[in-house]
């Protein structure tokens, strides 16, 4: 590891420690809940980019895993210790991602996008069917002894884990394999990469973070039904945040998540009736104006200014 990398890891650890102290001195519930939103989308966008960044498989299945995680908390939250709930969420997320991944990662391009969106809807409908026909109650109450501060800290740890994992993978052969798959899958196979295994592995890792994030977030809602837990907007917002920031770089998803959570918060507070329209406009502006993402745009500027010197 070079000296620069040591410094980067040190700086990251310091930033994490500083962020961890925030709930100690900030006692405003509104700002804390805003920070929780920022963290939640930072985790989701980073987890999304873990798989979709290098492979360029655009997934709209984020909320399928997130919602399943939330439901895990709703079902087991009251009876089991918290750590066990999170472990069950992790296990369910891994199992679901493996099944889905093995069945579908042979699809590519637009077929995968549509499939992933369908998966989210299918999961939502299955849960709805179960609640209506089996439990006979569409809504659930989440009574768990978890405070907003706890959620903040848990999400912060999850974010550190997903960023650490991405940084580590980028250094390994696995990271190289992902980049080659993103460039050209045929070439990837012909240089000896087991593309199916690599894709399923990364899809599963990505999904497990999303599921656990859902389980951690569930106590925020107290009341949960499938339209809340499986809201497609979560998938779309995760996607657009990762794209705005730049899914290829480590901190890109954060560059997208932080401003957009704040923007969406502002829009929903001031224009509650036009929120969906405005979010749609934001999507279009982002796709037109920063197709490379903020991190790609910064890199371009840097290389340009470096070239003229």
Partner 1 sequence: MTAPLLELKGLAKRFGGLVAVNDLSFDVHAGEVVGLLGPNGSGKTTAMNLVSGALPLNAGEVRFQGQTISGLASHQIARLGVARTFQLVRVLGGMRCRDNVAAGLAFRPGGLHGRAAEHAAQLLLERVGLGTQAELAASELTYIDQKRLELARALALAPQLLLLDEWLAGLNPTELQQGIGLIRALQGEGMAILMVEHVMDAVHALCSRCVVMNTGAKIADGATREVLSDPRVIEAYLGSDDTQEAAHA
Q: Could you list the residues that contact partner 1 (CB under 8 A)? A: 172-173, 176-177, 179-180, 182-184, 186-195
Q: How far is the CB of 193 from partner 1 (least distance, A)?
A: 5
Q: CA of 2: how far to CAs of 10, 147, 162, 309, in Å? A: 12, 40, 22, 27
Alpha helical stretches, state H, the chain: 3-20, 22-25, 29-55, 62-76, 82-104, 110-130, 148-171, 173-183, 185-190, 195-217, 226-229, 232-245, 252-270, 275-289, 293-308
Q: Of 62, 31, 27, which is closest to residue 261 (Cα–Cα)?
A: 31
User: What is the SS3 assignment for 140?
Assistant: strand
Q: Of 216 and 247, which has the nearer Cβ to partner 1?
A: 247
Give the SS3 label for residue 309: coil
Smallest separation (angstroms) from partner 1 to the CB of 182:
8
Q: Is residue 1 exposed (0-12), middle (13-18) or buried (19+ Cβ within 10 Å)?
A: exposed
In the complex with partner 1, the residue whose CB is nearer, 26 or 191, is 191
> What's the min distance (Å) between Cβ of 190 and partner 1?
5
Closer to partner 1 by Cβ: residue 179 or 220:
179
Q: In angstroms, how far apart are the furthest CA atoms of the chain?
A: 70
- Provide, rounded to whole angstroms, the least separation between the CB of residue 198 and partner 1: 10
Name the residue nearer to partner 1 (CB basis): 259 or 296: 296
Backbone angles phi, psi at 109, to 5 degrees: 60, -140
In the bound state with partner 1, the residue whose beta carbon lies nearer, of 173 and 301, is 173
Distance CA 40, CA 50 (A): 15
- Minimum Å distance from CB 270 to partner 1? 40
Residue closer to partner 1 by CB (options 178, 286) is 178
Least separation in angstroms between CB 166 and partner 1: 18
Minimum CB distance to partner 1, residue 65 (Å)? 28
Cβ closer to partner 1: 35 or 201? 201
Q: Which of 73, 92, 75, 212 is nearest to 146 (CA)?
A: 73
Tokens of 31: 């700002």
């Amino acid at each position: 590891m070079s000296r620069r990398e040591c410094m980067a890891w040190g700086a990251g650890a310091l930033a994490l420690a500083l962020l961890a102290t925030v709930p100690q001195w900030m006692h405003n519930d509104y700002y804390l809940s805003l920070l929780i939103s920022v963290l939640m989308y930072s985790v989701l966008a980073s987890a999304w980019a873990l798989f979709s960044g290098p492979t360029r498989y655009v997934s709209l299945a984020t909320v399928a895993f997130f919602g399943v995680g939330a439901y895990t908390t709703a079902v087991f939250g009251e009876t089991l210790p918290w750590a066990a709930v999170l472990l069950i969420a992790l296990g369910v997320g891994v199992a679901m991602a493996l099944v889905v991944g093995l069945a579908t990662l042979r699809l590519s391009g637009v077929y995968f996008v549509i499939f992933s969106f369908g998966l989210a809807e299918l999961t939502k409908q299955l849960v709805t069917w179960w609640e209506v026909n089996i439990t006979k109650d569409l809504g659930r109450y989440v009574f768990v002894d978890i405070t907003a501060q706890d959620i903040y800290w848990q999400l912060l740890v999850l974010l550190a884990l997903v960023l650490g994992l991405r940084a580590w993978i980028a250094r390994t052969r696995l990271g190289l394999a992902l980049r080659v798959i993103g460039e050209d899958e045929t070439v990837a196979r012909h240089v000896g990469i087991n593309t199916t295994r690599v894709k399923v592995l990364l899809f599963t890792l990505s999904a497990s973070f999303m599921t656990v994030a859902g389980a951690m977030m569930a106590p925020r809602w107290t009341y949960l039904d499938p339209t809340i837990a499986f809201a497609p907007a979560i998938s779309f917002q995760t996607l657009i945040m990762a794209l705005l920031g730049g899914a290829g770089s480590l901190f890109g998803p954060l560059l997208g998540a932080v401003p957009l959570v704040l923007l969406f918060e502002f829009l929903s507070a001031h224009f509650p009736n036009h929120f969906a329209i405005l979010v749609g406009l934001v999507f279009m502006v982002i796709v037109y104006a920063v197709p490379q993402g903020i991190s790609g745009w910064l890199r371009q500027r840097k290389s340009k200014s470096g070239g003229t010197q």
